[in-house]
Structure 1
Amino acid sequence: MKETVQKGLQSVGDHSKIKQWKTVGGGDINRSFYVQTENSEYFIKGNQDVPPHFFKAEAEGLRQIQETNTISVPRVHYYDEPETGQEAVIIMDWIKTGHKDVSEPLGHQLAHMHRHTKDAYGFHSPTFVGELDQPNTWSDSWLTYYRDFRLKGQLDYGQSTGTITGDRYHSLTALLERLDEWIPHHPSASLLHGDLWGGNWMNGADGKPYLIDPSVLYGDHAFEMAFTELFGGFSPAFYKAYEDVLPLPAEYENQKPLYQLFYLLVHLNMFGEIYGGSVDRILKRYIG
């Protein structure tokens, strides 16, 4: 892998000697490293068990966010697209962590990011949620996109692997048929991070919040905010700051479990039945 990284660094103009290389935490999917050269410091992720466009999708998401000029992301220096089974890497700036509370700027800046909109829902290329493929397309209806490309996608995957069967399958199918009772067709199509839990933002030493590991799409900003409430990692100051800029809809509390359902299905399909009870409680609430 070091040879692959050196080639990547040289391709972006850093021909200096590597002074330090150490393993760091970076999630369950990839191997992650801190690399210091004579010129700079880098965060590097590598994986052999991902499709060729795995890191391309991450780099494109970071670029989309960066171009809004609202919130910071790590700069991507290099990524490759090797054949499946070969070593894939992405090279980014190393973000030093700080101790200042950035909850308010995180809320403000995320809301301003969400004010960047398109006239369609979805995304122009496939992405990933965790290690699962996320096919995308453009749709003129958020309800259609969310139902067919998010919830139904996870239903089909879970049916094929045996995590969604029997009563759970029938309840989820019934929910999809009635989804228009709760999910709107035409909310604002905001740029969303797409995987925003507490582990996917950083408190920078420069006093700025940073978003990392996106799975971007354009959709209802309430979808993003519902996920922030699912696993914690965000303070009351964050939510207040967010709503000072972009209030949530009056229907949010009733929509929230349906938006969280997608991420719970993803976790059910990735990690198993430990998430089954949470999925079933949401289905029971809406379907009975």
Structure 2
Amino acid sequence: MQQLQEPLPELGELLGGRWQLQALGASAFCDTWEARQGRDLLFLKSAAEAGADMLRAEADGLRALAATRTVRVPTVHAVLERPGGGVILALEWLQFVRPDAEFGFRFGQALAALHAQAPPLRPPGFGWTRDNYIGATPQRNTPRHPPTAAGWIAFFGQARLRAMRERLRHAASDLRLAIDAVIDALPQLLAEGPPPRAALVHGDLWQGNWGMLADGTPVIFDPAVSCSDAQAELAMMELFGSPPRGFREAYARAGGTWPDLRRTQLYQLYHLLNHAVLFGGSYVQQALRTARALA
């Protein structure tokens, strides 16, 4: 690992002292660091101005999830606007361990408690206070829609499916036509089963975005929050893997309802389209097959 001798001056100005940094790695839009000062330890993400809003949105989502006091997230210590442009996001350092046999039960209970809370938007509705990001793709959360079945159909159709269609304008026309057909069919696709229920959701809850602390506490991170149908969260958890053992049972015991196959496929389509935007290739065909099966 690269060892940097000079601390970032912004850290000292805001947090006090001199922080020694060790580079941990980089993604497409940010670098990550371990910051140490005596016994204090922070996890940092730094981005140039082009990626700065992604870190601001991440901090907003983590603070919203933390405010529910239902599920553990890394504490946001600071969002530092760098004088030369860009942002440093300073987070609580959390050490994860391999999940134990009971992890899924605790995780299911925690997520059910999150989804059971009244949505924090005022007035209530579907959407969020700002647009944010799903992976590296801008995620539209505005304008908001009322917390009704019609409101969810409008929000999911416009802010989720049609927003992705716009980003796939250079894709083959058959995919774009299939997306249009799904949007038109949303009232029928959502007519069966429980009515959509607005809840604060993590929004990108695949298995790479959860972990367990040494005391057994489940933690979620890297959110793409919104007030959405809680079942959309569960569908995402089954797209690139599956929830840990015991999760579904604990979630159901706590009053949560799992989506049926058709609704699962519908909500997964949004994420497949996002992967088609980001990576193309086989995700385009997978999204096309799913959209055609739905419509």
Q: TM-score, normalised by structure 2?
A: 0.87
Percent identity reads: 26
* 1:1-288 equivalent positions in 2, closer than 5 A: 5-12=8-15, 14-18=16-20, 21-24=22-25, 29-48=29-48, 50-81=50-81, 86-101=85-100, 102-118=103-119, 119-137=124-142, 138-140=144-146, 141-159=151-169, 162-163=170-171, 165-183=172-190, 187-232=196-241, 234-248=243-257, 252-287=260-295
Q: What amino acid does structure 2 have at the position aligned with 1:136?
A: N
Displacement of 1:53 in angstroms is: 2.5
Question: Helix, strand or coil for the counterpart of 2:45?
Answer: strand
Could you tell me whether the CA contact under 8 Å between 1:98 and 1:206 is conserved in 2?
no
CA drift at 1:4: 7.7
Q: Secondary structure at the match of 1:50?
A: helix
CA spacing shift, 1:224–1:203, aligned 2, 3 Å: same
Instruction: Say whether the 8 Å CA contact 1:56–1:81 is kept in structure 2.
Output: no
Cα deviation for residue 27 of structure 1 reads: 5.4
Helix, strand or coil for the counterpart of 1:121?
A: coil
Task: Answer whether contact 2:197 2:229 (CA < 8 A) is retained.
Answer: yes
Cα distance in 2 for partners of 1:265, 1:49 equals: 26
Equivalent residue pairs, number? 279
CA distance in 2, matches of 1:16, 1:82: 17
Q: State the shift of 1:37 in Å.
A: 1.7
Match of 1:190, SS state, is strand
Letter in 2 for 1:142: W
Contact 2:105 / 2:247 at 8 angstroms: preserved in 1?
yes
**Structure 1 pair 2/166, CA: closer, same or farther in 2 (3 Å)?**
farther
Q: 1:4 to 1:61 in 2, by over 3 A?
A: farther
**Gap regions ≥5 residues in structure 1:** none
Backbone CA RMSD of aligned residues: 2.4
Counterpart secondary structure, 1:92: strand
The amino acid across from 2:45 in the alignment is K
The whole-number CA distance in structure 2 between the counterparts of 1:221 and 1:45 is 29
Mapped contact 1:52–1:82 kept (Cα < 8 A):
no
17 and 135 in structure 1: CA distance in 2 versus 1, 3 angstrom threshold: closer
